[in-house]
Each structure stands twice: as structure tokens, then as C-alpha cells.
Amino acid sequence: MEFYRTHVLVCAGTGCTSMDSRLLRQNLYEEIIKRGLEKEVKVIETGCFGFCNLGPVMVVYPEGTFYCQVKPQDAAQIVEEHFIKGRPVERLLYQHEKDTANVVEMENIEFFKHQKRVALQNCGLIDPENIEEYIAQDGYFALAHCVKDLTPMEVIDIIKKSGLRGRGGGGFPTGTKWEFAYKSQADQKYVVCNADEGDPGAFMDRSVLEGDPHGVLEAMAIAGYAIGASKGFIYVRAEYPIAVERLKIAIRQAREYGLLGDNIFGTDFCFDIDIRLGAGAFVCGEETALLASTEGRRGEPRPRPPFPAVKGLFDKPTIINNVETFANVTKIIRNGWEWFASMGTEKSKGTKVFALAGKINNIGLIEIPMGTTLRTIIYDIGGGIPKGKKFKAAQTGGPSGGCLTETHLDIPIDYDNLIAAGSMMGSGGLIVMDEDNCMVDIARFFLEFTQEESCGKCPPCRIGTKRMLEILDRITTGKGTPEDLDNLEVLANTIKSSSLCALGQTSPNPVLSTIKHFRKEYEAHIYDKKCPAHVCQALLSYKIDPLKCKGCSLCARNCPAEAITGKIKEPFIISQDKCIKCGDCMTRCKFGAISKE
Amino acid sequence: MKSIEELRAIKAKKIGDVVSRNEKGVPTINVHMGTCGIASGAREALTAILEEIETRQIRDIHVIQSGCPGMCVNEPLITVTMPDETPYIYMKVTPEKAKSIVVRHVINHQPITEWLLNREK
């Protein structure tokens, strides 16, 4: 082995890969070889750093220099200036605000400063395709400790005491789940990893699998040892090709090193893992549907009990944990439950990964201790709302959750506080909305998603969500009636109480929570036939202000519907019955004479 | 994998690969690689340092480069910083001197005072 003075970590997550990071790495390799530095400078492909909207990102160690929005053609300058002369390339450094000083070190960037990375610890730090780098980061020592020094019940006890709760949405105590499966008697048991991440906007599971696949494999083996299972399955979406590829490599390497397979660490413990690809149905993230799909049957939920811990995969006791849950397990074993329990709030321990999306400056993936406020997330880490707009709401829990408003900005975020606020943790998608978002339209968007993704097994979800969507369609097109609001609430409560699985039961939540917090917006749509945020097209009309219009005819010449008429140098007029409300005229007008209302 | 010792052996072998990414408080050798430094042989000094590190199998060390500190007449300059100590700046570092600095200063904690830039003080 050789000593490399400089390590260049280039993000190879899905986000940065879509922005040409592969070509950037290629160019870096070539430039490094051209200058004879290949024995001194090492380029490593890592998982996601989280700062996705500034991609492609790369970090140069040991200095910890953080470069963002690096283009493939920047490679030559970076090699020449930084790797040879030791001068960071200023124009590629991070700037907190325009015209402020560049920030050189990654650890001093606001976005990273407030984070506490536990599940994402290795993401962006190691090469996910190299098992030895994972081992160098104390990888597989937790598994060794468990199978060599601890009894299964002792392992379960540590997880229980740590207070770890399921990160996939429900928040069920992980240790308790393991104990149920441990106590179930059977000749065969299974460990299943739920990597069927389906919430719109959430991508933490993908990032963990892409950046630290061995962390999940090791934790699954620990779970297998704890409950007495010898077989594990990872159910992962086929839409995550990079994650699937890295998982396959990781499993192959772990088998080669004897970290999966028979007699692990010379003990009687045997454990192996296989991958099952999901076809992207939202319902397959529900545990009983996921099991059915893993068995090769149609992905449909079934009633519980019996719970999977008693009767799961192939009718054998099975534990199903989410990727992020597993990503925490190895760290708890390694650092002790006391360490984990010292983070977070009274009933929600540890950290949580959130995917920031929507109207927020720093779109990306963050990990924060439980109990951090929404204000810190949005304004300190997220960098606030673009264009100085006003914060309106944040949707947590995806289509199963609800929205948080300005009044919730300062509550500590944990499982119980979110439920009390009418939302839920969910898998950690956090979609930020500003004053330009119509809340009725948002509710309609999520309901359209759940309605389309309903598996159709139980009528409340299949028919109920369809009827709700029809009502919302009416409201957003100006055909709403005063009874619609009451009907929505009745339908919502029926679906909530009578659906078979959690996906159905939670599908009306976005509607209920927007009605609760933004009733006035619904009423404006129904009674005044107006969309206060100017989003719902049917309720919009574009008008030309005759005082501002110079009669240049630019709008009229470009109108696809030929709805604008007038004489040159005189105010033009939009014919409302021809207008298709595309907004093209408004963006083209150089005098700001066109407005929508 | 039959024993935890095997795991430890892999970790020991690879630790140098990750140490530069997450360790603080390890010795740092900074080679000043401005145009003047490179012209007077900083590149050769850097190569010598890396060779010596390889020969001695040192793994917990940072080797970085930086620009010209302004004393072009005394180039090549290298700065050695041991954890919690003040930095020592060596001047006119030849490849042979560089190797000795790695051995005597970094490994044996004995700065070579006669080659220091600030030795008068």
C-alpha cells in the first residue's frame, strides 16, 4: 500500500451523477496522471454529501476543502493549482451569501455546521465500493462484538435502552420489535430491510445505500444474530440503480471476506442476504405488502395481527426495519446505548435524516438531532426561502403526513410533537412551501398521488380517495360548493378509520391538515372563486393594465391562443374566453403591465 | 472471516486511507509550493517526504501543500507542525534534508535546529 498525501472525494450519489460528476472524476484521473501525481493523489468516489443543489460537490483532504458546482472542465485547474501549488481554487469554493468571503473548509459551512451525522456518518467519507475502507472506519467490529461477546438478548437490550425508534415512519421501538421476533419460536426467521422509499421528495434511504451499503449489511447481520435469523432480504426499488449496484458489490465483498455466510467470526452464526427489486409501487413500502411482494406475490397489504414478528415472510417470524433504522444500529452497538440516548428528546432519541425540498435555498439531505426546531432546519441549515419570500408551511411525512405552519416553527421536532401538531415524522421528507403555494393545490397533489398509488384492495382507500380527489378537483376549478368541505371531512374520517393499511389510513391527512390550518384558502376557492396564491389556473385571469401597456405587441405576437389584440402604441386587451392561462404574456412583458388575479 | 484479529489486521492496513479524512491532531508537513518553491526544488522535497513516509510506514500524518510564504530566498520551505506545538519552518530543504526531517522531527520528535528558518530567535 502506498501513502497518498491528498485524498479527493467526489460525490457519486444520484444527484451529482446526474450533473456530470462521473466525467469530472474521469477528467481528474487524467489530469493527475498527466502530471505524474497518481502515486500521491487519490480520487475516491463516495456517497452523497447531502448538499445536492450545489452539485457536483467534492472535498479535498487532509485540508477538508469543499468545492461545489464543479464542472468537468475545472479538473485541470484544480489539479494544477490545488494539488500541485496548494492554492484552493477560489471560484469553486462555497459562498454563504453573495459577495461574502468564500468558505474553504467543509466543517465551517452553515449547512454542515448544525448537523449531527450518525446514520450518514460514512456518506461522503468512504468509498462505498471498498469494504476495507469501511473496516478502517471500525466497520464490522460491532458485528464481531455482538457474535463474540454478547447474547442475543443482550443485543436486543442495548437497542431497547438506546430508545431507537423506526425511522421509516411509524416510529415503533426497534428493540421491542426485535424482542417479539426473538421470542417467536420457529425453525427459520427472517430479517428484511425496507428500502422501498416512496414518499415524494424523500431520498435518505437511497443515499445511505449509495454511500454506506456495508453499514446496512452489518446491521442486518446483527439483527439476524439478535432474533435468530440466518437469512435477510433487502427490498429495494429498481429505480435506484446506483444503490442496487453498490449493494450487490457490497454483498459480494462481504461474502468474500466471510462477513456474510457460514460461521461468521468462527462462531455458529450464519447469515446471508439477498436483494429483491421492487417495481416502484408506493404500497410496497407497507410492511405486509412488502412481504407479499418479496415472496413473489402481488404487493397488497393484509390485516394485522398477526404481526410480521410472529408471522411474516413465508409465514415465519420476520423483522422489517427501514434503511435508516439499520444505519443507526451499528453505531449504537459501537458507541453504547448511553451515547445514543444522550441525543434527542425524552421519547425520541438520536438523530433524524431529512430530505429538504421545495421552496428552500439549500435543497439536500441533512441529519439533525431530534428536538431541533423547524426554524433551525429551514433558516440555518436550509438557508431560508429563495427570493426573500415568506414561509407558509412545511409538509412532513410525505403524502401520509400533514403540514406545519408558522406557529410550529419553534417546536422541537420529534415523533410525538409532530403527531400533536397534526403531522407525522414519516420517512423524513420535508417539503417547504412559500406564499406562492396554494394549499388546496398541495393537498390535491398529495391526494392525487395516494389515489393513484392505492392498491385497490380495500374500498375505503380505493373509492374514498377517488371521491375526495373529485371534490378537490371541483374546488380548484371553481366549481366547489359549500357542502364540499363537510363532505371532505366526513370522507376523510371514514377512510382514516376503515382502511386496511396505514397508507390508506393516513392518505386523507394532507387534506385534513390543510383544512385545519388554511380553511380560509378553501373558502376563498369555494365562495369567492379565487385562488389567493394565484396557482389554480381555472380561477386565474390575466389582465393588461392600460396605463402601463405601451402597445408594443410583444405579448400578442407570442400568444399561442391569439387571445391578445390591440393597435400598436395603444393598450392591448386579453380576450378572457380565448385565454388558455399559460402566463407566457406575463413573463414576456417588459413593462410589468400584465398581472394575474 | 474467522476471527476479530483478521478484522483488526485489515483495519490497520487501511487506516492510513481514511485517517487524512477524519483525524485531527496528527503531525502535518506543509510543503510550500509556490512558483519560487517549485523552481528551487520543492517538488523533489515533497517526493522525498512521501518516499520516506512510505519506507517508514507512517500512516497518521498529513502532507499538504500551500503557496509561497514570502521568503523566496530561502526556498524550498517546509513547515512541520506536531500536535499542540508551534510550527517549525525549515529552509532550503533538499530531498536528503527532507528525509531526515521526517525521521528526526516527525518520528523522533527532535527538531533539527540548524536547518530552521527561525533558529536565530
3-state secondary structure (DSSP) of residue A170:
coil
Task: Please indicate, yes or no, whether residues A505 and A550 belong to a single structural domain of this protein.
Answer: no
- B25: pLDDT strictly greater than 80: no
Q: Are residues A236 and A359 in the same domain?
A: no
Do the Cβ atoms of A250 and A133 come closer than 8 Å? no
Question: What residues in chain B have their Cβ under 8 A from chain A's Cβ atoms?
Answer: 1-4, 7, 10-11, 13-18, 20-22, 28, 30-35, 38, 43, 46, 50, 53-54, 58-59, 61-67
Q: Which domain holds residue A547?
A: 541-596
Do residue A502 and residue A471 come from a single domain?
yes
* Position with higher pLDDT, B26 vs A270: A270
Surface-to-core class of residue A531, CB atoms within 10 Å of its CB (0-12 exposed, 13-18 middle, 19+ buried): buried
The reply to whether A182 and A277 lie within a common domain is yes
pLDDT band at B23 (very low <50, low <70, confident <90, very high): low
* pTM for the full predicted model: 0.89
- Boundary-marking domain end, from A434, A460, A494: A434
Asked, for residue A122, whether it belongs to a domain, the answer is: no
- Quick check: B75 and B92 in contact, CB under 8 A? yes
Chunked in runs of 10, what are the mean pLDDT values of chain A (597 residues)? 84 91 94 91 90 90 90 94 89 82 82 90 90 93 96 97 92 96 96 93 92 96 97 95 95 96 95 95 94 95 94 96 96 96 95 94 93 94 92 93 94 93 90 95 95 95 96 95 95 96 94 95 95 91 92 93 92 92 92 90
Smallest Cβ–Cβ distance between B62 and the set A62, A138, A257 belongs to A62
Alpha-carbon A578 to chain mean position: 42
Are residues A239 and A332 both part of a single domain?
Answer: yes
Closest chain A C-alpha to B121 CA, distance in angstroms: 28
Residue B57 pLDDT level (bands cut at 50, 70, 90): confident
| Domain final residue pick, A76, A109, A142 | A109
Does A43 share its domain with A136? no
* Chain B CB within 8 Å of residue A257 CB: yes
Sorted by sequence, the CB contacts under 8 Å of residue A587 that are 6+ apart come out as: none
Instruction: Answer yes or no: is A10 within a domain.
Output: yes
Domains annotated on chain B, with CATH: 22-115 (3.40.30.10)
Contact A1 B16 (CB under 8 A): yes
Among partner residues A1, A62, A87, which is closest to B13 by beta-carbon distance?
A: A1
Return the ∠ at Cα A280 (arms to A278 and A283), rounded to 5°. 95
Same domain, A452 and A468: yes
Which of A109, A144, A163 is the C-terminal boundary of a domain? A109
Which residues on B lie below 8 Å from A265 (Cβ)?
1-4
Contacts of A191 (CB under 8 A, 6+ apart): A220, A223, A224, A227, A229, A231, A232, A233, A318, A319, A321
- Residue with the bigger pLDDT between A319 and B12: it is A319
Asked if A256 has any chain B CB less than 8 Å from its own CB, the reply is: no
* Interface touch A133/B63, C-beta < 8 Å: no
**Residue A455: inside a domain, yes or no?**
yes
A115 assigned to some structural domain: no
- DSSP secondary structure letters along B2-38: --HHHHHHHHHHHHHHHHHHH--SS-EEEEE-SHHHH
Question: Is A5 an interface residue toward B (CB < 8 Å)?
Answer: yes
Residue to test with chain B: of A3, A79, A117, A270, most B Cβ within 10 A: A3
Q: Which of B92, B99, B115, B113 is nearest to B42 (CA)?
A: B92
Same domain, A258 and A383: no
Q: Which of A218, A145, A144, A225 lies closest to A178, judged by CA? A: A225
Same domain, A64 and A173: no
CB atoms A85 and B50 under 8 Å:
no
Residue B97: per-residue pLDDT: 93
Residue A534 lies in a domain: no
Helix A174-183 to helix A152-162 angle (10° resolution) is: 160
Residues in CB range of A123: below 8 A, 6 or more apart? A46, A47, A48, A49, A50, A117, A207, A208, A210, A211, A212
3-state SS assignment for residue A240:
coil
Residue from the list B4, B7, B34 with its beta carbon closest to the beta carbon of A85: B34
Does residue A535 sit within a domain? no
Q: Residue B116 pLDDT > 90, yes or no?
A: no
Is A133 an 8 Å CB contact of chain B?
yes
**Measured between CA atoms, how close is A204 to chain B, in angstroms?**
23
Give the separation between CA A116 and CA A273, rounded to whole angstroms. Answer: 30
CB A466 within 8 A of CB A500: no
Question: Do A371 and A517 share a domain, yes or no?
Answer: no
Which residue in the set B16, B20, B67 is minimally distant from A86, CB to CB? B67
Residues 6+ apart with CB under 8 A from B25: B83, B84
Tell me which residue in B2, B11, B20 faces A61 most closely, judged by beta carbons.
B20
- Residues of chain B neighbouring A85 (CB-CB closer than 8 A): 33-35, 38, 65, 67
On chain B, the residues whose CB falls within 8 A of the CB of A7 are: 17, 20-21
Say how far apart CA A516 and CA A421 lie, in whole Å: 11
What is chain B's mean pLDDT, rounded? 85
Shared-domain flag, residues A300 and A171: yes
Angle, helices A323-335 vs A204-211, to 10°: value is 50
CA distance A106 to A68: 10
Q: pLDDT class for B85, splitting at 50, 70, 90?
A: confident
Phi/psi class of residue A131: alpha, beta or left (left: φ > 0; alpha: ψ in -120 to 50)? alpha
Residue A555 lies in a domain: yes
Q: Around Cβ A134, how many Cβ atoms within 10 Å?
A: 29
Alpha-carbon separation of residue A256 from A191, A265, A272, A433 (angstroms): 21, 13, 12, 48
Q: Into how many domains does chain A fold?
A: 5
- Say which residue, A554 or B74, is predicted with more confidence: A554
Q: Between A1, A5, A125, which is nearest B22 by CB?
A: A125
Chain B residues closer than 8 Å to A40 by CB: 46, 50
- Assess if residue A126 is contained within a domain: no
- Do A160 and A82 lie in a common domain? no
